[in-house]
Amino acid sequence: RKEVEQDPGPFNVPEGATVAFNCTYSNSASQSFFWYRQDCRKEPKLLMSVYSSGNEDGRFTAQLNRASQYISLLIRDSKLSDSATYLCVVNTIDSGTYKYIFGTGTRLKVLA
Amino acid sequence: ETGVTQTPRHLVMGMTNKKSLKCEQHLGHNAMYWYKQSAKKPLELMFVYNFKEQTENNSVPSRFSPECPNSSHLFLHLHTLQPEDSALYLCASSRNLAGVSGELFFGEGSRLTVL
């Protein structure tokens, strides 16, 4: 089982749609969770951290379910500029060392 | 000016060449990382440095040799690479090592092609 698993997509959605991505992680000792965004041929950039109580930043909402070991990202009112790959990142402990573990990413295409 | 700068942005090399990738961070961070990103694969952690000391070598072949002269600079020396080493090499930094919640800041990457 992969440490961090995401549906690679692509998710093709029309402008204005709501889209949700899920991510599962295998290590129950994982400490913190993030969503990063990566545009084509660019570096990943932090989109938002994911807090236990869930958190919202404008059109973006992140949720964490520790019992089921998954996190989610909801994007409302999709814009063309939201087209990118969304990377799920988990900060987990491995052999006594904390590491950032990345998923393969979910590709989103917002269509006009 | 970006916080993390990588050079060169693109590199083409033969299997017998020796080249180096350079990374510099202007953020005052203590931890620096090398990641490899290949098509359809997740980012793979290669090396971690904390206060210029190597804390992680993720079973990386010896043809990749990192160097961290100080907390702001990180190099990846390349020697006798294979075509399958062609990938995007990303440098990142964070205020502290993973374990303390914090953001990873990435450079724009060095796209390497091995012929």
HSE-up of residue A19 (Cα within 13 Å, Cβ side): 24
Q: For residues A19 and A75, give the distance between their C-alpha atoms in angstroms, rounded to a whole number.
A: 5
Say yes or no to pLDDT of B35 above 60: yes
Contact A106, A9 (CB under 8 A): yes
Predicted local confidence at residue B101, as pLDDT: 58
Average pLDDT, chain B: 91
Predicted local confidence at residue A93, as pLDDT: 78
Q: In what order do the strands lie in the sheet with B73-79?
A: B4-7, B18-25, B73-79, B64-70
Predicted local confidence at residue B99, as pLDDT: 56
| B:64-103 residues touching chain A, CB 8 A cutoff | 90, 97-99, 101, 103
Higher pLDDT, B53 or A75: A75
Residues in chain A within 8 Å Cβ distance of B55? 97
Contact A48, A60 (CB under 8 A): yes
Higher pLDDT, B57 or A81: A81
User: What HEC string does B52-85 produce?
Assistant: CEEEEECCCCCCEEEEEEECCEEEEEEECCCHHH
User: Is B103–A46 a contact, with Cβ atoms under 8 angstroms apart?
Assistant: yes
Contact B18, B76 (CB under 8 A): no
Q: Across residues B28-48, what is the average pLDDT?
A: 92
Higher pLDDT, A60 or B52: A60
**Shortest CA gap A76–chain B (Å):** 24
Q: Across residues B27-47, what is the average pLDDT?
A: 92
Predicted local confidence at residue B1, as pLDDT: 52
Predicted local confidence at residue A52, as pLDDT: 87
State the residue for tokens 């993030």: A34
* pLDDT classification of B100: cutoffs 50, 70, 90: low
Predicted local confidence at residue A96, as pLDDT: 74
Give the pairing type, strands A11-14 and A106-111.
Answer: parallel
Give the pairing type, strands A84-94 and A32-38.
Answer: antiparallel
Q: Which residues of chain A have pLDDT under 70?
A: 1
Residues in chain B within 8 Å Cβ distance of A101? 42, 45
Contact A11, A110 (CB under 8 A): no
